[in-house]
Structure 1
Amino acid sequence: MAKLLITDDAAFMRMTLKKMVTDAGYEVIGEAENGKQAVDLYEEHRPDLVTMDITMPEMNGIEALEKIKSLDPNAKVVMCSAMGQQNMVVDAIQKGAIDFIVKPFDETRIKEALDKALAR
């Protein structure tokens, strides 16, 4: 069973995503509310996949993505963004993100993105 780290500054979004991914058969091993926490939890748990919100306090998702990729070049990170953040999504993909999911979350799209990311 694949282990996931969910990163989002909104507790409601983490809760929603956690329910969707556990329903899809994944195990959530940690939740982070900012990029700094995500980097620390990644280092501690080495999850199979990280979902990363882009806009967060303290350290944004793109900075956290870069830090995680410097710790582990093979890290699998799927970005989560609101509509209208396309330029940031492109930046994230160039910096090593595997895919992105647009909010509000669609359960089918999430499962598809995670399955695809883990198959790489």
Structure 2
Amino acid sequence: MTVKVLIVDNSEVMREVLEEAIKEEFSVVAEAENGAEAIEAVDTYDVDVIMMDMVMPGIDGVEATATIKEKAPGIKVIFCTSVTQQERMKPAIEAGADGYIMKPFENSTIREAIHDVVS
């Protein structure tokens, strides 16, 4: 089974870093630069896992996750967060986050996080 991944981050550079890290092992089906686009992408694409940034303009990652999990509880959400945002993980977990990785991260850490939530 090919795992289909949606990458959500307001930084184009971070989206590229994440895609580069996983593209050989997983299928990146779409990218979004904010929570509203992430919600739209879930309606448009078949998604198994979302790599979700926490802080974005407009609808943030926590709010987007709550909305997505209501619609599609089977989609796994992994937050990509910085150390300074660690205290904000409680609301993310309450919204339905399935895991998180800390920035800056190694490519292997990203792939392991995806394997952990789909296995």
**Fold shared per TM-score above 0.5:** yes
Runs of 4+ in 1 over 6 A off after TM superposition: none
Unaligned runs of 5+ in 1: none
How far does the alpha carbon of each residue in 1:62-95 deviate from its partner, in whole angstroms, 9 at most, with x for none? 0000010111122210011111111211221122
Partners in 1 of 2:46 and 2:69 — Cα distance?
12
Do structure 1's residue 20 and structure 2's residue 18 form an aligned pair? no
Match of 1:63 in 2: 63
TM-score normalized by structure 1?
0.94
- Alpha-carbon distance between aligned partners in 2 of 1:6 and 1:74, rounded to the nearest angstrom: 17
Aligned to 1:85, what secondary structure does the other structure show? helix
**Percent identity of the aligned residues?**
35
Query: What SS does structure 1 have at the residue aligned with 2:75?
Result: coil
Q: Quick check: 1:82–1:103 contact (8 Å CA) kept in 2?
A: yes
Q: Trace 1:24-103 onto structure 2 (pairs within 5 A).
A: 25-103=25-103
Equivalent residue letter for 1:85? Q
Contact 2:48/2:74, CA 8 A, preserved across alignment: no
Q: Matches of 2:89 and 2:114 in 1, distance apart?
A: 17
The worse-fitting range, judged by mean Cα deviation, of 86-95 and 44-53 is 86-95
Q: SS state of the match for residue 83, structure 2? A: coil
2:4 alignment counterpart: 3
CA RMSD across the alignment: 0.9
SS at match of 2:58: coil
TM value normalised by structure 2: 0.95
CA contact (8 A) 1:5 1:30 kept: yes
Name the SS for the 1:90 alignment partner: helix
Q: How many residues align?
A: 118
2:7 is paired with a residue whose SS is strand
